[in-house]
Amino acid sequence: MARPHGRMNSGEHRRVALVTGAARGIGAATVLELADRGWSVLAVDIASDDPALPYPMGSKSELVAVATEASSRVSRVGAVRPFVADVRDPEALRAAVAEAVDTWGGLDAAIAVAGVIAGGDPLWEMPIERERAVMDVCLGGVMNLARAAIPALLARPEPRTGRFLAVASAAATKGLPLLSAYCAAKAGVTGLIRALGAELGGTGVSANAVSPGSTDTEVLAETARIYHLPDAVRFGGQQPIGRLLAPAEIASVLAFLAGPDSSAMTGAVVPVDGGLAL
């Protein structure tokens, strides 16, 4: 019989994950979901605003609150820890990986959720600093985490079950006007995951991604502002299920991919989009 919710047998080591973009949205929901399943988690976020972007990022207080709530669900002091790092900084991510390994003895999953959005202008008119912020966080941040985390995933003894995961988007395959940099970055994530899946073949470590549709997050709220909409709710009508997705719905798929039951999957981009890509 399968273990409910991917929980551990008594003989297994406690699995360890690192999650970026953890202060809110899909990242926060992923930290909470993993904690519910008994994982130890390093919750990573920049926890400060970016002057190149016109909307607020997650805060340090939000990050600490997520880690505190997640730890309470595991009922182990220090089971989930906050860590402030910018995914654009390779050294900061290497430090985060080292923190997870030093604290819990290894790393079993690295989950790149951190993302930002900017737009409102055609590409040739978009301020270069906004374009760079989107590309450097949404694509560069995933690549930086892969460089930092995959060696730690490979350091686990065989047979390995490491997982490198990323959040792409339906925007990876749909051309969205006034969001060209975001579309390009997310398409890059899907290509990166396919390449990593091939590169990691035979190691026991896999690479997969989820591709969310319109999800009730601050990124979607900013998208509504870009399109001069009063709120993000109407995006739900574009999806066959007729509503916005909840961050927890994306997180549950990421948690499945992080666990042992996804052993037959690598290089996959899983749509969790309410049918938006149909």
> Is-catalytic flag, 227?
no
Among residues 182, 200, 222, 239, the one annotated as catalytic is 182
Give the whole-angstrom CA distance, residue 265 versus residue 250: 17
N residues, the chain: 278
Hey, which residues does 268 pair with through a beta bridge?
Answer: 208
Give the whole-angstrom CA distance, residue 164 versus residue 258: 8
Asked if 35 and 73 count as a contact pair (C-beta separation under 8 A), the reply is yes
Q: 70-96 burial string, b = 16+ CB within 10 Å, else e?
A: bbebbeeeebbbbbbbbbbebebbbeb
Question: Residues with catalytic annotation?
Answer: 182
